[in-house]
Amino acid sequence: MKEQFENAWSEMIAKLESWFDALILNLPNILIAIFVFIIALISSRYISNGVSRLLDKTKLQASMKSLLSKMVSIAVVLLGIFLVLGILNLSRALNTILAGAGVVGLAVGLALQGALANTYSGIVLSYIKHIKFGDWIETNGFEGEVVDLDLRSVTLKQPDNNLVYLPNKLVVENPIKNFSTTAQSRVILNCGVEYSSDLEFVRNLVQNTILENFGSIDNRDEIIFLYQEFGDSSINFETRFWIESTSALEVAKAKTDAMIFIKKAFDENNINIPFPIRTLDFPERFTLPKENKNTSNGKKNNNGGSGE
């Protein structure tokens, strides 16, 4: 037993001596590796700050600026780790780490497929020039002002002041209607007048009313007036004009004001906006059935008799 213990002790000492010798031999490489790793850490901080300052000159959202700067910082640190492993002649360990990272990345990707899809879509939306903070958009059946855009969702503020959170994936995969891409918005108003109305007078009256009450319109040529159809009870028309706003709420307000002004002008000029009516045409020989006097008198007598 004592001999076995001595053999084990001697083998352990020999192993430690070999490790110590290897440490002494590789001490320059270790010092260089430590120096390279420290340089990588310091460089990652300065490079990250530099990237942040460069991104401040762009129109990217704050969340995306922070994400990109962190990604650059992580990339610099990983590069430093790979250089350290190469300096220490740990190529096998590097291959093992890369293989393990691939397996782990695949598992994480499958588990977080939805979250990663939203993250990627958020990055895509951050680079799209046609959607930014303050834009009034319509997508996926919701309409409102873009108040936030992060890696998970797009936040819309609706006219009723409610917030809608749309996953980035749905916004990217579905059509987006942006009302803020131009400096103006068009107001479209439909109405109808009775058949006895003077159509030219109605057209001039509507155009003059809009021109007088909306300062963003310079002349009547900017107001489009179109008669559309002979309706069941009215001659229907459509009028279109521009306002200096890209908000859907302002468009709705302008449409409301236009309806008030046009209705007031119609009332002052005895122009009626008819409601649906139905006219019944009877044949010339048609007569209403007359009431049977005998029957009615008999009923009255019977009623009177029962009263007594």
**Residue ranges per structural domain of the chain:** 8-111, 131-178, 185-268
Tens digits of per-residue pLDDT, 58-106? 766 666 676 678 788 888 888 888 787 777 776 666 666 666 666 666 6
What pLDDT, on the 0 to 100 scale, is given for residue 307?
Answer: 42
CB contact at 8 A, 168 and 156: no
What pLDDT, on the 0 to 100 scale, is given for residue 262?
Answer: 94
Report the CATH number of the 8-111 domain: 1.10.287
Give the position of tokens 């129109």.
59
Please state, in angstroms and rounded to a whole number, the distance separating the CA atoms of residues 77 and 82.
9
Mind giving me the DSSP string for 217-282? Answer: --SGGGSEEEEEEE-SSSEEEEEEEEES---HHHHHHHHHHHHHHHHHHHHHTT---PPP------
User: Considering only 69-73, 149-153, 222-226, which range has the smallest mean pLDDT?
Assistant: 149-153
Please state, in angstroms and rounded to a whole number, the distance separating the CA atoms of residues 264 and 128.
45
What pLDDT, on the 0 to 100 scale, is given for residue 214?
Answer: 86
Instruction: Write the Ramachandran bin of 105: left for phi over 0, alpha for psi from -120 to 50, otherwise beta.
Output: alpha
What pLDDT, on the 0 to 100 scale, is given for residue 186?
Answer: 83
CB contact at 8 A, 159 and 247: no
The stretch 169-175 carries a mean pLDDT of 83
Lay out the sheet containing 235-243: strands in order across: 185-193, 235-243, 224-230
Tens digits of per-residue pLDDT, 281-295? 777 776 766 665 555
The stretch 171-178 carries a mean pLDDT of 83
Tokens of 289: 């059935």
More confident residue, 51 or 112: 51
What pLDDT, on the 0 to 100 scale, is given for residue 236?
Answer: 94
The stretch 101-114 carries a mean pLDDT of 60
Q: Choose among 214, 123, 132, 135: nearest CA to 180.
A: 135
Question: Is domain 131-178 in CATH 2.40.50.100, yes or no?
Answer: no
Please state, in angstroms and rounded to a whole number, the distance separating the CA atoms of residues 79 and 195.
81
pLDDT band at residue 133, thresholds of 50, 70 and 90? Answer: confident
Q: Which one of 3-12, 20-29, 106-115, 247-256 scores highest in mean pLDDT?
A: 247-256
Mean pLDDT for all residues in the chain? 78
CB contact at 8 A, 235 and 195: yes
What amino acid is encoded at 207 in this protein? Q
Tokens of 61: 């959202």
What pLDDT, on the 0 to 100 scale, is given for residue 82?
Answer: 79
Q: Helices 27-55 and 2-25: crossing angle, nearest 10°?
A: 50
What pLDDT, on the 0 to 100 scale, is given for residue 159?
Answer: 77
Domains 8-111 and 131-178 share a fold: no
CB atoms within 10 A of CB 262: 21
CA 204 to chain centre: 40
Tens digits of per-residue pLDDT, 18-46? 766 666 666 777 778 788 888 888 888 88
Whether the per-residue pLDDT at 305 is higher than 50: the answer is: no
Alpha carbon separation from 262 to 198, 250, 275, 305 (Å, rounded): 15, 18, 16, 64
User: Considering only 102-106, 155-159, 276-280, which range has the smallest mean pLDDT?
Assistant: 102-106
Class of 185-268 in CATH: alpha beta
Tokens of 28: 């320059």
Find the Cα–Cα–Cα–Cα dihedral 55, 59, 64, 69, rounded to 10°: 0
